[in-house]
Structure formats: C-alpha cells, structure tokens
C-alpha cells in the first residue's frame, strides 16, 4: 500500500474496496459508493470540525522547544476547554516521521509551558514520558482564541506541504472538537447527499471528538484510542430506531461513528441520545449492537482503526481484504482510498 501524500479530499482516482456480508470483495471507484447503499439505509456521519490542535512553544523550566499535540478532553462543552491530555515532542516538525521525533525534555507536574500566546501548567504525567495532562491559563474565550490563532492541524510526514485548516474539515463540519479529522467523511459531498435522499437513503449526524491516529511510540499507540466524548442528537437516535424498524442498515461513516453508536447502544440495539464518553476498544471480540456497515480509510495492520474491522469480519476475511489492498496498491491515511465493510450477515427483518 502507498501513503496518500496530497491533501485532496475527493481525488477523482479514489477507490473503494467493498466487502459484503458474505465476504465477497468488489472494487469500484469511490464516486460509485452510492451504488452499494440501499433504499431504507441510514447513513450516520461525524460532523466534528477539526481543531488546530498542534501548538509549538517552550518548556519553561528547561528552555527547550516543544510541540504539544492536544489529544483528549473530558467533554464537548464549549466552556470545558481548560484541561486536555496532550502528547508532547521535542524540537522539530511534521517533516520528521513521528516515530523519529525527539522526546521532550523531562517534565514534572507544575512545570510551565508557553505555547504561542497561551500559557499552561502540567497537572499530571499519564504513564508515559510524552503523555501529560495540562491546564491552560485564562478564560475559555482566551483559550479558544489562542488555539485558533497559534495552533496548526496535527500533521504527519506522509504529507509534504503544511496543511491548512480547510484541508481537514469535512463538508458537514460543525463544532470544532476533533483533534484529527474524521476523515472517512472526506468521501462525502453535497451532490452525494442529495443523491442519497433521492434514492430513499436517510442521513444523520453525531458529534465525536476524533482523537490521534498515532503518537510515534509503540507502547503509547497501544493505548489508542483514548477516551473520546461524543453527543448524539435525539433526531439521530430516533432515525436509528426507525431504520431498525423498517429493516434498513445503519451505515457508519468512519470508526468514530462506530465507537459512539456502540457505546450508546442499549441491549435492544436502540441508541441513547445525549452526551457520553466512548471508553471501549472495538475489535474482533466485540459484539456489535447497532452498526451494520462502515466506510473507513485504508489502515495498516496493528492500528486501532484496523482492529475495529475485526468486529465486522472474521480473521480469514480480514486477511483477504488486507492482501487485496496491498496487491492492488490502495492508498493509506486520511486522504487515501476507502473500504466499505458490511457486518457478517448484516440482515434485518422488518418489524410488524
């Protein structure tokens, strides 16, 4: 597989590998995604806009330069913006592969950080030299203003040029709460959404604080995804109930949607509306309650995104998918190709 290195959300050559409930594989241009959706389906996407969550600055005690990548927070409330989990690197920028970035200077609770116009204090170390809890000084308005003014999108070395904020916002972007883009949504455009409606396919959204895809450290990556807050509107929960009743599939656009819906699932497969924090890791041991199919990017084995597909496919089918992706040169990462996977035997009977 090849890393997609240009920040183009809907390149004309983008492909999708479709895996149906019986494990059959079909390759198609991604613009034909609508052909694999059915009347009565409900498509659910994450409408989170992406924060400029990379902040450069200085560790005051040592005087050394650092990069702070905001990675998690407790809720999506606008005023709850003082405290974050963050991954910290030493000097350098995205041109250096994350796994080769130098470690930050030794850090301790109480240490001060200057991050552009913002200042912050380390309030805790979280079991790894790069992972901290920090608290910003100032009011919520001052903190939001500082992040907007001084932050940049989190970026990795496979993209050569600096990302602009509009590069990482989907067409349905709403509240700025994601730390990295919910990039499966890059496949959507307004023309496709209109065509869905004409075909009898419903569309709904939720808001989920998509987190980091990589920290550059194997032991820290094993802790991904971090706990991620979400909000499910009442209208979306109702749409899911109606889709179940008519025998339609619930199609998640991205792994963040899967995490949110499955965390909010009730025993009968319905979904609770409201706020929550997704704390679970979804993999081959997970019994999915809500989601029948997922559109996601092409992810490398070992990542949490890849392991999530194990909840949809058995090991044999997942290996076959991986072999096909590699043999056909599918492009990885956020601006790459896609995989559309239907859960094994994802068939529902209409309730009468």
| CATH (domain of 304) | 3.40.1780.10
Virtual CA dihedral for 68, 71, 75, 77, nearest 10 degrees?
50
Beta carbons within 10 angstroms of residue 285's beta carbon: 9
Residue 140 sits in the same domain as residue 234: no
Residue 143 sits in the same domain as residue 259: no
In a domain, 210, yes or no: yes
Residue 129 sits in the same domain as residue 174: no
Out of 150, 178, 198, pick the residue that ends a domain.
150
> How far is Cα 297 from Cα 115, in angstroms, rounded to an integer?
32
Residue 143 sits in the same domain as residue 267: no
> How far is Cα 141 from Cα 50, in angstroms, rounded to an integer?
18
Q: Pairing mode, if any, of strands 250-253 and 42-46?
A: parallel
Query: Which is nearest to 310 in space by CA: 331, 284, 279?
Result: 284
Residue 115 sits in the same domain as residue 138: yes
8 A C-beta contact, residue 132 and residue 85: yes
Residue 190 sits in the same domain as residue 217: yes
Out of 150, 181, 210, pick the residue that ends a domain.
150
Burial of 337 per CB tally in 10 Å (0-12, 13-18, 19+): buried
Virtual CA dihedral for 80, 82, 87, 91, nearest 10 degrees?
140
In a domain, 260, yes or no: yes
8 A C-beta contact, residue 284 and residue 311: yes
> What pLDDT is attached to residue 4?
78
> How far is Cα 149 from Cα 147, in angstroms, rounded to an integer?
6
Burial of 110 per CB tally in 10 Å (0-12, 13-18, 19+): exposed
Backbone angles phi, psi at 220, to 5 degrees: -75, -35
> What pLDDT is attached to residue 345?
61
> What pLDDT is attached to residue 347?
44
- Cα dist from 328 to 51, 160, 263, 307, 310, whole Å: 34, 24, 34, 21, 21
Query: Which is nearest to 180 in space by CA: 143, 137, 149, 225?
Result: 225
Out of 150, 171, 195, pick the residue that ends a domain.
150
Residues 6 or more apart whose CB falls under 8 angstroms from that of 319 comprise none
Which 8-state DSSP code applies to residue 91? S
Residues 6 or more apart whose CB falls under 8 angstroms from that of 218 comprise none
In a domain, 264, yes or no: yes
Stretches in the chain below the pLDDT threshold 70: 1, 345-352
- What sign results for the dihedral spanned by CA atoms 58, 109, 103, 120? negative
In a domain, 157, yes or no: no
Residue 108 sits in the same domain as residue 178: no
In a domain, 322, yes or no: yes
Residue 211 sits in the same domain as residue 287: yes
> How far is Cα 50 from Cα 19, in angstroms, rounded to an integer?
29
Backbone angles phi, psi at 332, to 5 degrees: -95, 175
In a domain, 155, yes or no: no
Beta bridge partners, 59, equal: 64, 113
Residue 11 sits in the same domain as residue 137: no
Virtual CA dihedral for 348, 20, 273, 187, nearest 10 degrees?
-140
8 A C-beta contact, residue 54 and residue 69: yes
Residue 200 sits in the same domain as residue 139: no
- Our count of domains for the chain comes to 2
Residue 68 sits in the same domain as residue 172: no
In a domain, 299, yes or no: yes
In a domain, 156, yes or no: no
Residue 230 sits in the same domain as residue 197: yes
Q: Residue 132: which domain range?
A: 54-150
């Amino acid at each position: 597989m090849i890393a997609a290195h240009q920040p183009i959300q809907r390149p004309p050559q983008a492909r999708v590998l479709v895996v149906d409930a019986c494990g059959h594989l079909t390759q198609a241009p991604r613009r034909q995604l609508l052909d694999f959706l059915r009347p009565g389906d409900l498509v659910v996407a994450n409408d989170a806009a992406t924060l400029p969550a990379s902040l450069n600055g200085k560790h005051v005690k040592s005087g050394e330069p650092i990069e702070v990548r905001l990675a998690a927070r407790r809720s999506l409330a606008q005023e709850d913006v003082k405290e974050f989990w963050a991954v910290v690197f030493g000097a350098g920028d995205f041109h250096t592969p994350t796994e080769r970035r130098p470690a930050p200077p030794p850090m301790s609770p109480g240490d001060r950080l200057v991050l552009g116009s913002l200042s912050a204090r380390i309030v805790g170390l979280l079991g790894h030299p790069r992972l901290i809890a920090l608290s910003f000084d100032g009011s919520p308005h001052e903190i939001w203003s500082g992040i907007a003014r001084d932050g940049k999108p989190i970026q990795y070395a496979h993209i050569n040029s600096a990302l602009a904020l509009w590069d990482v916002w989907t067409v349905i972007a709403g509240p700025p709460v994601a730390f990295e883009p919910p990039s499966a949504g890059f496949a959507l455009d307004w023309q496709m959404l209109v065509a869905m409606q004409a075909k009898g396919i419903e569309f709904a959204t939720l808001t989920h604080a998509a987190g980091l895809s990589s920290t550059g450290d194997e032991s820290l990556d094993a802790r991904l995804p971090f706990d991620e807050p979400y909000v499910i509107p009442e209208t979306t929960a109702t749409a899911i109930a109606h889709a179940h009743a008519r025998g339609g599939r619930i199609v998640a656009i991205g792994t963040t949607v899967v995490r949110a819906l499955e965390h909010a699932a009730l025993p009968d497969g319905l979904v609770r509306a409201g706020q929550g924090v997704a704390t679970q890791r979804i993999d081959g041991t997970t019994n999915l309650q809500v989601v029948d199919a997922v559109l996601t990017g092409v992810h490398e084995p070992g990542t949490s995104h890849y392991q999530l597909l194990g909840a949809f496919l058995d090991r044999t089918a997942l290996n076959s998918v991986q072999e096909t992706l590699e043999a056909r040169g599918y492009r990885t990462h956020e601006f790459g190709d896609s995989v559309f996977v239907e859960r094994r035997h994802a068939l529902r009977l209409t309730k009468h």
